[in-house]
Amino acid sequence: MTKAREQQVSLQDTKYYHCISRCVRRAYLCGEDAHTGKSYEHRRQHQRGQHQHQRGQSR
């Protein structure tokens, strides 16, 4: 059973949290979906660009 973040987070300990979701339902970020045969290769360059942009922001 899931809990709301407000029940999991203590604002007295820290005021800032990085929250992410790791739920993926048979989705392909890059490559070819073996089930449908559809290619998602066009996403690879976009993800690389996003990754480099985020790395540049943190420096």
Range of the structural domain that residue 51 is part of: 27-59
55 within a domain of the structure (yes/no): yes
pLDDT of residue 58: 56
Give the integer Cα–Cα distance in Å for 48 and 55.
Answer: 11
Greatest Cα pair distance in the chain: 50
Interval 8-46: pLDDT, tens: 888 788 778 777 766 666 666 788 888 888 888 888 888
**Position 53 in a domain:** yes
Average pLDDT over residues 41-55: 84
Of residues 24 and 47, more confidence is placed in 47
Domain contains 11: no
8 Å CB contact between 6 and 19:
no
Return the beta strands (E) in 1-59 as ranges.
Answer: none
Overall domain count for the chain: 1
* pLDDT score of 25: 62
pTM: 0.38
